[in-house]
Chain A
Amino acid sequence: AQSVAQPEDQVNVAEGNPLTVKCTYSVSGNPYLFWYVQYPNRGLQFLLKYITGDNLVKGSYGFEAEFNKSQTSFHLKKPSALVSDSALYFCAVRDMSLDNFNKFYFGSGTKLNVKP
């Protein structure tokens, strides 16, 4: 079965500092990995994805994520955090098996707090 884990319920960072939101995955086969962001009272917005290719993936709003196969991780990063980045972040994996094709499995979410 596919799954992702987000070990931190909350991450606090000062504005201007780099941020990392952690995600580890467990999949059978090649991983299709995603990051989404949810602002208060809004739906989820797609940030970036890893399907294949370069391990460093760049996405929206200056975010990037590093795919690490040996550590089965897909951590979200940003070099310089903004107060407006404060939101709930979800890591997800897509199931590519025939039985559950295109089903997504979401992590528990990490609340990012960026303080001015």
Chain B
Amino acid sequence: SAVISQKPSRDICQRGTSLTIQCQVDSQVTMMFWYRQQPGQSLTLIATANQGSEATYESGFVIDKFPISRPNLTFSTLTVSNMSPEDSSIYLCSVSDKFNNEQFFGPGTRLTVL
């Protein structure tokens, strides 16, 4: 299975600022995903990060608010822009490739917006 790291592991931010979360994988993967999870709740898919092209966003999520980069097959970033307290959540990166049916998850980034 892939080993996935995320930076930062947690952060406390002020309203109106932006935070960029990094996701690094130890091997090349086909697909990378970004999820949001309220503590103790289920996961909501934000977008699929596509290598070399624009991310594919789910309903309710837009590029201006959650810009995503994926410059290569092992790395992606998610930016939470112009943050408000409602953005306080856990943000999870996950990956899958053509050899596995399952997704593997990073440890998550716990964001608190004051």
Query: What is A's interface to B at a CB cutoff of 8 Å?
Result: 32, 34, 36, 41-46, 49, 51, 88, 90, 94, 102-104, 106-109, 111
Contact = CB atoms under 8 A, between A and B. Distances in A.
B43 interface: yes
Nearest to B108: A43
Residue from the set B40, B94, B101, B108 with the largest chain A CB neighbour count within 10 Å: B101
A3 B83 CA distance: 30
Interface residues of B, number: 22
Given A43-B105, A44-B92, A104 B45 contact: yes
A107 B42 contact: yes
Given A43-B105, A88-B40, A102 B31 contact: yes
Nearest to A111: B40
Contacts of B92: 43-44
B53 interface: no
Contact of B42 (A45, A103, A109): A109
A109 B39 CA distance: 11
B85 to A, nearest CB: 20
A44 B105 contact: yes
Contacts of A43: 4, 92, 105-108
Given A32-B101, A46-B1, A102-B31, A108 B42 contact: yes
A7 to B, nearest CB: 14
Contacts of B106: 43
Nearest to A6: B42
B101 A103 contact: no
Contacts of B107: 42-43
27 contacts: A32-B101, A34-B102, A41-B108, A41-B110, A42-B107, A43-B4, A43-B106, A43-B107, A44-B92, A44-B94, A44-B105, A45-B105, A46-B1, A46-B102, A46-B103, A49-B101, A90-B42, A94-B101, A102-B31, A104-B33, A104-B103, A106-B43, A107-B42, A108-B41, A109-B40, A109-B42, A111-B40
